[in-house]
Structure 1
Amino acid sequence: MTRATGRPDGRLDGRPERRPAGRRRGRLRRTLLAGLVAAAVVVPVSAAASPDVPAPAPAALPEHTALPDRYEANRAGLAEAARMAREAGRTGRAAKLEAMGAEGTARFLAFDGRGRGRAVEVLGDLESADRIAVLVPGSDTTLDTYQRFRAGAVALQRHLLAGHPRSAVVAWLGYDTPGTVSPTVLSTGRADAAAAELGPFLDRLARTAPPGARLSLLCHSYGSVVCARTPTGPAVTDMALFGSPGTGASSASELPTGARVWAGRGGADWIGHVPHVRLGGLGFGTDPVDPAFGARPFAAGPGGHSDYLKPGTASLDGLTRIVLGTAPSTPIAPSTPEVPHA
């Protein structure tokens, strides 16, 4: 007969208790998520550390304002915001704004230079385009980092035009993105607020576009959380989630859209190591590239988190095909890494 050892874990034979593998994995996930939360709390948020930048209020334009007049009014607001920033000694922001309007032909559907800022820019001819991609960015995208976001939109537009001349890209920085290291990036709060802006915008865009135009939502990182919470009308035919931490939903069928839902992740994207759990309103649950989520996979190549729209990448080619409606219907295993050509 085995004698009790008096161990605090209650074991009678002196051996450590062996927990089921599922419990150990669940505990590990909770520990990792707790670590993310702790890091988010102790690291200063860049937006909070930076004082507001002086800028004029956005142009108040009636909904029926013609596109050329809308573009002109927002270019004027951009120029005034740059002037005010420079006069206030915010030379860094002033230079960024001046770069945004340097060509004098930028087409902004909306612009707000206050605080972190918002901008909705059109690349291409929106009035004639029958293939329109709306690009939704992730965390830490502000007017100060706008050129990086815009570079991806430009690369996408050029790739689209090579296959379909009547194409346009809308770079939608229409919400206050969370900081990459902040409590807000772990919850759906910012995404819910953004979805309330994005949904009506898509409706207006569909009315502006030519009859029968296809709209696609291309959603990067935290932007995929935004898109997944945005109700879409029939004009939105496709929604692509890439570099996604999750959506807050357990399956694509739960998303408020009738669009085809695609998912892809680069082989070197660090976000694949983020725990796909949801606890107490933190985290986003099921990984969209998991077959159990039910999204259509697209090949994203071997790239990292910021590489999806870089020229020459498999991910840019895959996203372009989704927008044009030529993406292969045969499923591609999302976990199969792509081997670059020698």
Structure 2
Amino acid sequence: MTPRRSRRPAPLAPRRGRLRRTLLAALVAASVAVPVAGASGATEVPAPAPAVLATPHSATAGELAVRYAARRADIRAAALAADAHGAHKRATVLRELAAPERQFYSFDGRDGGRTVEIYGDLAKADRIAVLVPGADTSVDVYWRLRNSAQALLREAGERVAVVAWIGYRTPATVSTDALTPDRADSGAAELGAISAELAAVRPAARVSFLCHSYGSVVCARAAHALTADNLVMFGSPGTGVPNAAALGTRATVWAGRGSADWIADVPHLSVELPFLTVGFGEDPVSPAYGARHFDAGDTDHSGYLKPGSRALRSLAEIVTARHA
């Protein structure tokens, strides 16, 4: 009788690899199968082209006031177009954005909307923080980004300007777009452009890019072109590069993640599927990545800029160079 051979268990590393690939495949399937409320139609609201403005030579109060006034006119025109289209909720949001005290450096209501709003006094700022948001950020829910910008401005103190940037069509959280770098690639060029303008109008200011979630993918794609002192990634699904050195930036690279952030459970790897690449590779908070870590406390995925949070204090310390 031939002795029965015992079956050796598969090596642990390959089994883990297959599990991760299975998880990513399931994410792709779910993103295709699960409808995203409000995703369709958001980019279909018409808006006129904004006025073409020259880049300011410097960030003087007078030049900025003229620019802000022109952008308010663009926003009011977009609100009228939205009302005429029957998109009254969008029109209401736009009318709020056109309030006299708002400071929009740029605005384009087409294709879902692109905005760059300044909080604080850019003409006097020697520290600038650019907020680069992740998925599900748009004109229609702009209040979320506004709350974050205002909280950071209060925490950081005087002579700081916060730039709330929606320069790309962000992906929906539950979608294949949130699993691939395509949207980040389109946003990276626009982020590089606003970086160049800030460097031109406030050349002596220290600039920090604060990149949340999918926004960290955008920042990674643009990193080599950013004039930055700090590149800060938090709640990141990965950046598409294996380590901080591969970003090609002279900025200090920071990473942080709250202990209650679900993004920690997302596999940080990149998988080649038949028609697309899914995932963004190495976790930037891992020791192998080589970023400096900051204390994000017990925040969840959406709480990094919540007033009173440890994460907000850490981010303000980085922006103002108070971080140890």
Give me the TM-score of the superposition, normalised by structure 1: 0.88
Partner of residue 245, structure 1: 237
Q: Identify the residue that residue 132 of structure 1 maps to in structure 2.
A: 128
Match of 1:26 in 2: 17
2:307 is matched with 311
Q: Secondary structure at the match of 1:257?
A: coil
**SS of equivalent residue, structure 1 residue 191:** helix
1:156 alignment partner, one of 134, 146, 152: 152
Shift of 1:49: 4.8
Rounded to whole Å, the distance in 2 between the matches of 1:220 and 1:235 is 18
Alpha-carbon offset, residue 265 of structure 1 = 0.6
* Structure 2 residue 249 is matched with structure 1 residue 257: yes
Structure 1 gaps of 5+ residues are 4-11, 329-342
The one-letter code sitting in structure 2 at the alignment partner of 1:194 is G
Contact 2:73 2:98 (8 Å CA) reproduced: no
Aligned counterpart in structure 2 of residue 70 of structure 1, from 56, 67, 71: 67
Displacement, 1:268? 0.7
SS at match of 2:124: coil
The equivalent residue for 2:46 is 54
Closer/same/farther in 2, CA of residues 234 and 51 from structure 1, 3 Å limit: closer
**Partners in 2 of 1:176 and 1:147 — Cα distance?**
17
What is the rounded CA distance, in whole Å, between the counterparts of 2:226 and 2:187 in structure 1? 20
Describe the superposition over 1:276-324 as per-residue Cα deviations: whole angstroms up to 9, x where unpaired.
1101121001101101100000000101100000000000000001101
In structure 1, the residue corresponding to 2:130 is in which secondary structure?
strand
Using the size of structure 2 for normalisation, the TM-score is 0.93
Cα distance in 2 between the residues matched to 1:159 and 1:177: 27
User: Which residue matches 2:179?
Assistant: 186
Confirm or deny that 1:170 pairs with 2:163: yes
What letter matches 1:42 in structure 2?
A
Q: Are residue 236 (structure 1) and residue 232 (structure 2) matched?
A: no
Q: Go from structure 1 to structure 2 and tell me whether the alpha carbon gap of 1:215 and 1:129 turns closer, same or farther (over 3 Å shift).
A: same
Letter in 2 for 1:118: R
**Residue of 185, 192, 209 corresponding to 1:199:** 192
Secondary structure at 1:236's aligned position in 2?
coil
Change (3 A) 1:51 1:136: closer
Q: Could you give the per-residue CA deviations for residues 72-102 of structure 1, whole angstroms, max 9, x where no partner exists? A: 1110111121122123221111121122223
SS of equivalent residue, structure 1 residue 48: coil
User: 2:259, 2:297 within 8 Å by CA — same for their partners in 1?
Assistant: yes
Q: Structure 2 counterpart of 1:58, which letter?
A: P
**Which residue does the alignment assign to 1:100?**
97
Cα distance in structure 2, aligned partners of 1:188 and 1:96: 29
CA contact (8 A) 2:237 2:263 kept: yes
Q: Which of 78, 83, 104 is the equivalent residue of 1:81?
A: 78
Shift of 1:233: 5.9
1:323 aligns with 2:315: no
3-state SS of 2:187 partner: helix
Q: How does 1:267-278 map to 2 (within 5 A)?
A: 267-278=259-270
Deviation at 1:141, TM superposition (A): 0.5
Q: In the alignment, is the contact (CA less than 8 A) between 1:229 and 1:256 conserved in 2?
A: no
Q: Is the 8 A contact 1:233 1:258 kept in 2?
A: no
Give 1:235 shift.
4.2
**Residues in 1 aligned to 2:53 and 2:42: alpha-carbon distance in whole angstroms:** 29
Is contact 1:117–1:142 with CA below 8 Å preserved after alignment?
yes
How much has 1:234 moved relative to structure 2?
7.8
d(CA) in 1 for partners of 2:185, 2:254: 21
Q: What is the root-mean-square deviation in Å for CA atoms of aligned residues?
A: 1.6
* Higher deviation after alignment, 92-101 or 249-258: 92-101
Pair member with larger Rg: 1
**How far 1:48 sits from its partner (Å)?**
3.1
Amino acid at match of 2:314: G
**1:48-68 Cα distance to aligned partner (Å, 9 max, x none):** 354611211122112237322
- Relative to structure 1, the CA distance from residue 231 to residue 262 in structure 2 (aligned partners, 3 Å threshold; closer, same or farther) is closer
Deviation of the 1:232 alpha carbon: 4.6
2:60 corresponds in structure 1 to none
Mind listing any 5+ residue stretches in structure 2 that lack a counterpart? 58-62
Identity %: 53
